[in-house]
Amino acid sequence: MKSQTNIQAMFKKSPKTKQFDIFSSPSGLMCEREGRQYDDPNAWHNTFYREVTSNVDEEIFKPLYTTVHETYRVGRPNVPICILVGMMILKEGVGCSDEQLYEQCRFNLLYRRALGMVNLDEQCPTIDSYYGLRRRICKHEEETGVNLFDKCFKQITRSQAKEYRISGKAIRMDSKLISSNIAWYSRYEIIHESFVKSVTKEELGRIADQLVRQQALDFFVEDARKTVYRTDSETMGRRLLDLGIVIDYILTHSAAKSKPILERVFSEQYEKTDDGVVFVRDKRKISAKSVQNPNDPDAEYRGKHKQKVKGFSTNITETLPEPNKPSLITDVKVKGATAADNDFFEDAVKATEEVTGDDVETAYVDGAYQSQSNRDFAKDEDISIVAGGLQGKPSRFDLNMVDTNTLEVTDKSTGEVQTALPVKSGKWKIVNVNADGKKTCRYFSKEQVDKAEVRRQTDSIPFEERKKRNNVEAAMFQYGFHTRNNKTRYRSLIKHSLQAIARCAWMNMRRIFWFEYKLSLQIAK
């Protein structure tokens, strides 16, 4: 049998300078006023071209294309990558669909100018080329763990930071929960949908056991949402078990290809004894990282304050404003919704240092970033953490280590001061006597002592210094501006990363645009 040969595009960089045709230039066909606005170097479309499109280092994406490979036949060269990257950023900037973006890039003169298509006879890349780059980026990250779009964002931001002499010595960061584009399923719907997506009717028809086969076919054709709505809790419990038994039989006896989603859901929702008896797992034992919807296995559940999401957590890091300089987002990371804020801190600091070339000296954060590991990292790197507060309810007791072995305990409600007795390494206790003469002991750990010290340090920071973090919330608002109730158009961790990076690249461009605009007004005065 003759082997099939895949066709791969050949990598080709876009020329640095483009041939300008006076006869096909839009400004040459406009009246004077519109022509001036079109050519205005401080207009948003020209700012976008200068700060984004022309700044893209296409070499970053070279691994996505090949010229020599025994399994590939070289096709025609790739379309300009800088235009495709610009299109990805424009899309998230204005919050449109792919179809709307493509229409604008074909017929909107400002969009075309922003992407460097200065002549009317220049052909816009096809939407297939646009989709193709996105698919290649996603596949590359799946295979290598490297997000080339993130590398491109950092390269663009590095250039902008150098151009405007942005300092990275002081940073601030915050995180935001964002929902995936999935339906909110009940437990039964999650299991049922995973079952339906993983098997075929033909496969079920080949099950040898007649009873199991009939049960499986019945589950396959039912409407799970209606079943949940019409069924009482006791009956639903039996259906959950019956469905689990069917799934276990299929996973055990099926000779078909592997079913990773179904296997994962079964292991999360059910338990199985050594004798092979299946039973429904206690819902309290099910992890928030479990599958929330098989259409997006990466999505995780989290409840934060009054917000409940099935999706992801996005952390954004930016420089602090300086006189006569714009502030820039230096790092954006997306993880599952269960990720704690403190999980982002170290990587965000290192990414900022890479982008700006400066060592971070001060990080303005909220209390959620105040983990012991982050404090240790900050101490090692000589970074001052300025937190707006500390997570958790303040303790009734203030703990102060007088010396290596002596712990002074102050009851904040009464003002009473006691010296705690060491019990063992890292443990102390105080003895109280109640009105009846009964003695009670209160124990304190090294962790509690350290937390009390951190709280004192946090409370000693002037309010004016602590509130410098607050304005990062404006960035978080802008990041989620085009979402619908904090719900994106996307599914999967990789696609949410692309969306977040593109959105932040747009936000940086807008910050530069407004900075230049205000500067031009000052010059005009």
Contact assessment for residue 428 and residue 407, using Cβ atoms and an 8 Å cutoff? yes
Q: What is the average pLDDT across 488-501?
A: 95
Q: Which of 142-146, 420-424, 511-515 has the lowest mean pLDDT?
A: 420-424
pLDDT at 525: 67
Contact assessment for residue 520 and residue 42, using Cβ atoms and an 8 Å cutoff? yes
Structure-token match 């009939």, residue found: 214
CA distance 512 to 522: 15
Neighbours of 452 (CB within 10 A): 22
Q: Where in the chain is the domain with CATH 3.30.420.10?
A: 148-179+299-388+461-525
pLDDT band at 3 (very low <50, low <70, confident <90, very high): very low
Distance of CA 358 to the CA centre of its chain: 25
CA distance 397 to 432: 13
Per-residue pLDDT tens over the stretch 300-320 = 999 877 889 999 999 999 999
pLDDT at 276: 87
Per-residue pLDDT tens over the stretch 80-121 = 899 999 999 999 999 999 999 999 999 999 999 999 988 888
Antiparallel, parallel or unpaired: β 329-336 and 362-365: unpaired
Q: Tokens for 309?
A: 């999401």
pLDDT at 53: 94
Q: Which CATH architecture has domain 148-179+299-388+461-525?
A: 2-Layer Sandwich (3.30)
Per-residue pLDDT tens over the stretch 236-288 = 999 999 999 999 999 988 765 688 999 999 999 999 998 889 999 998 999 99
Which H/E stretch holds residue 232? Answer: none
Per-residue pLDDT tens over the stretch 315-364 = 999 999 888 899 999 999 999 999 988 899 999 999 999 999 999 999 99
DSSP class per residue in 181-201:
S-----HHHHHHHHHHHH--H
Residue 418 has pLDDT above 90, yes or no: no
Nearest to 58 by CA among 85, 37, 27, 89: 85
Contact assessment for residue 148 and residue 84, using Cβ atoms and an 8 Å cutoff? no
Per-residue pLDDT tens over the stretch 363-400 = 998 878 888 888 889 989 999 888 876 566 677 777 77
CA distance 509 to 476: 16
Contact assessment for residue 215 and residue 244, using Cβ atoms and an 8 Å cutoff? no
Residue 20 has pLDDT above 60, yes or no: no
